[in-house]
Amino acid sequence: MNGFLDFMTDSEALLFGFFLLKSGRKSPYFINAGEYYKTGGQLNKLGKFYAELIRQSGRSDFNVLFGPAYKGIPLAVLTAAALAESDGFDLKVTFNRKEAKDHGEGGSLIGYIPRDGDRIAIIEDVTSAGTSVRETTALLKELGIDAKIVALYISVDRLERGTGELSAIEQLKEDFGISVYSIANAEDIIGYLENPACKVPDAAKHAEKMREYLAQYGVKQQINY
C-alpha cells in the first residue's frame, strides 16, 4: 500500500493543500491522475499496481477488461499485459471512442467487441459519480449486447458521500450490483501521512485536515463494495 502512495506522491498525482472540487466541496487533497501518464516507467508501474489489485480481489469471473476513454484506455492495456505476463490471465481488452467512427472499421468500440454472455470489468483512475459504469451499461444496451458488468477497479476511493447519504461507489452497488475495488482509499492516505517515516511536508497537518473533511463528508470504510 505504501508503495503505491509513494508512487502517487513521487508522481505528483496525489497533492495536498486546498482544492475546490466540482461538487463545490473544499478538499484538503486532490488526485491528479493525469500525472501518472508521463513516462514509460510510470505507466509500467501503474499497470502492475492494477494487476496486483485484480489479483488480490480474487476475482476470475470476468473475461473482458474495459477501459473508458480516455484515461481508462492505457490502464486497460497495461493491466491486461501485466496480468498475462505474470499470471497467464489472458483477458480480452476493449475500449470506447468518445464519438462513433463513421468510416473505416467504424463503430464505438475498439479492440475486442463484447458478445452476449461476456462478463466485463471496468478499469479507470477514480470515480466521483459512477459515470463510466452508467455510460458503459447504456452503450452495451444501445449496441444490443447482453453482457454483464461485474466489477470496477479504481486507484483511490475517497470514501465520500455523493449528493445523498451513499457514496458514488455504494450507489453503483445498489443500482447495478457491481463490486468496486480500489488500490487505496482516503483512510489509507491518512495512515500514510501519520506514519513518522512519511516524507510529505507538513504530513501531520494534512492528515488532520483530511480527518476533518471525512468527518463532514465521509462514509464508513468498507473493504470492498
**Looking at the annotation, which residues are catalytic?**
101, 103
Handedness of CA 142, 147, 151, 153 (dihedral sign): negative
Q: Is 4 helix (H, G, I), strand (E, B) or coil?
A: helix
Residue type, 124: E
Other C-beta atoms within 10 Å of 186: how many? 22
- E strand map for 106-178: 107-111, 119-123, 148-157
- E strand map for 91-172: 92-101, 107-111, 119-123, 148-157
Handedness of CA 107, 150, 59, 62 (dihedral sign): negative
Could you say which DSSP state residue 117 is in? T
Measured between alpha carbons, how far apart are the two ends of the chain, in Å?
Answer: 19
CA proximity to 119, closest of 172, 189, 50, 178 = 178
